Amino acid sequence: MAIMTTTSSLTYLPVLERIAEEISRTPGRGRPADYIPALAACDPRSFGMAVAELDGTVYGVGDWRRPFSAQSITKVFTLALDLAREGDALWEHVGREPSGNPFNSLVQLEHENGIPRNPFINAGALVVTDRLQTRTGDAAGELLAFLRAESGNRALDFDREVAASEAAHGDRNAALAHFMASYGNIDNDVPVLLDQYFRQCSVAASCADLALATGFLARHGIRADGGRLLSRSQAKQVNAIMLTCGTYDAAGDFAYRVGLPGKSGVGGGIIAVVPGRCTLCVWSPGLDERGNSVAGVAALDWFTTLTGLSVF
């Protein structure tokens, strides 16, 4: 049975319920991120999904209210917060091209003089966090305040256990930061930057929280309170980078299957944007070999198939 809808009669809840039913039949769900011990114990069969409309109405199924570790999803918000402050000057320090390499790779940095390929690989996210830290004095705190305001959930917070776990296993990120610092592309002391970055990635939020917090990208830069964070052009830029770089070195396959700007995290979450319509967040902690949620990608594929909504 197909559930193809029109934009004027779109009802999200039946679509989400259909997706949850299909996902429940999926035998393989991948494996949680075992290199971050605090995430390794997650049940890969957990599943939640939420859709937020432009006015803040939110629908969900499964574990859509259950907080999980946002991880790299937060890179979208720090990018937006820094881009709002310094504009195009940011792009002198980080590129906008897909990497084609794992998200924590050191390989390209030496060939490209310490300039990361894009803001969503770890090196690029470290640069963005560093620049936001320089401008605010507390990049992680700025991020948390933004997420609380946009989601309407004042209880959102960092997960200290996850942050400590990442810090204890963060040698690769430390190497990336020191290497870029040697090229003059990091302003702050590396230990300060790493503390900010690990706290940023440790934010615990639900599908509902993150779908709502992403709404400014569907509203072309307008925040939940009606204020403008990004220009329409800047919002387009962030969405474009999400489409081409948001799912590590699987971005081409994600665009092919889903057809929406998206950003994944190794906690099992993925956010996605339908510009001018709605935002989504799906969570299931079982990952594929590239670090993306197996059930999450499948659920978003189902969503665009059933609704006909995509950017193509």
What DSSP line would sit under 218-279, residue for residue? HTTTB-TTS-BSS-HHHHHHHHHHHHHHTTGGGHHHHHHHT-S-EEE-TTSEEEEEETTTEE
Distances (CA, A) of 102 to 75, 250, 251, 259, 308: 16, 10, 12, 22, 31
Q: Taking Cα atoms as reference points, which of 248, 276, 268, 272 lies closest to residue 258?
A: 272
| Active-site residue, from 75, 151, 165, 258 | 75
30/204 Cα distance (integer angstroms): 21
Burial status of residue 293 (CB atoms within 10 A of its CB: 0-12, 13-18, 19 or more) = buried
Q: Is 203 one of the catalytic residues?
A: no
281/48 Cα distance (integer angstroms): 8
| Active-site residue, from 51, 76, 197, 297 | 197
Q: Is 72 one of the catalytic residues?
A: yes
DSSP state of 205: E
| Active-site residue, from 72, 165, 202, 264 | 72
Q: What is the pTM of this model?
A: 0.94
| Active-site residue, from 69, 76, 202, 248 | 248
Contact 83, 230 (CB under 8 A): yes
| Active-site residue, from 51, 58, 238, 266 | 266
Torsion angles phi and psi, residue 268, rounded to 5: 105, 5
216/227 Cα distance (integer angstroms): 10
Q: Taking Cα atoms as reference points, which of 249, 148, 276, 268 lies closest to residue 260?
A: 276
Give me the sheet containing 58-62, strands edge to edge.
Answer: 58-62, 48-53, 278-283, 269-274, 262-264
70/166 Cα distance (integer angstroms): 13
> Would you give per-residue pLDDT tens digits along the chain (312 residues)?
333 333 333 589 999 999 999 999 988 788 998 877 778 888 989 999 999 999 999 999 999 999 999 999 999 999 999 999 999 999 999 999 997 666 556 777 888 899 999 999 999 999 999 999 999 999 999 999 999 999 999 999 999 999 998 899 899 999 999 999 999 999 999 999 999 999 999 999 999 999 999 999 999 999 999 999 999 999 999 999 999 999 988 999 999 999 999 999 999 999 999 999 999 999 999 999 999 999 999 999 999 999 999 999
Q: Is 75 one of the catalytic residues?
A: yes
Please name every residue paired with 154 in a beta bridge, in sequence order, or none if there are none.
Answer: none
CA angle 43, 47, 52 (to 5 degrees): 145
Q: Taking Cα atoms as reference points, which of 32, 56, 37, 59 lies closest to residue 48?
A: 59
